[in-house]
Amino acid sequence: MKAYFTASITGKKQYLPNYQYILDELRQHKLEVISDHIIKTEESEVNLSKREDRLKFHKQLEKWISSSNCMVAEVSFPSISVGYEISLGLHLGKPVLVLYNEGYPPSLLAEHKDEKLITERYSKETLPGIIGDFVEFVKGPADMRFTFFITREIAAYLDKVTVRKKVPKAVYLRKLVEEDMKKNS
């Protein structure tokens, strides 16, 4: 399995030991971890890069996230870029573990309801259990794909309701079925 790791490059000054500890824990669970873009990049490199280089990096970032089975983000140091990557990962249907080690979770993430988003406060003592539980969640039972045809009216309704609720169509339909299952069991 492959995990995409992200965190604030600026925050490395303060949190690099935490980043390394998280990466070590992920590797303990036999995950291949994509992290060099965070660990080996300096803030000055990012600030001095040309527009073309930033666009090329963005394409690579999308490939890394889409090729991963999950994402782990350390968010103790605020970063708009990390927030964007989390959003992209969720949009691609990736399970995302958001870790912070002090204070409160980022307010937008704390209130965001998505079955694939897990936000946890961690310490050196609790991190192994959190990572272990997350890896088990990612492995989870094998999901089945189900495809069917719908009318244009249903498609238009799904487009409208999923934009309003800010969820993918599959998530919306799955929640409807789950609610019906609870009601009828």
| In contact, 111 and 5? CB cutoff 8 Å | no
Q: What is the pLDDT of residue 48?
A: 63
The pTM (predicted TM-score) of the whole model is: 0.72
**Domain residue spans in the chain?**
2-139, 152-183
Q: What is the pLDDT of residue 127?
A: 93
Q: What is the pLDDT of residue 14?
A: 93
pLDDT per residue, tens digit, the chain (185 aa), is: 999 999 999 999 999 999 999 999 999 999 999 998 888 877 666 666 788 888 888 899 999 999 999 999 999 998 999 999 999 999 999 999 999 998 777 767 766 777 889 999 999 999 999 999 999 899 876 666 677 778 888 888 988 988 888 777 877 888 899 899 999 98
For the domain spanning 2-139, the CATH number is 3.40.50.450
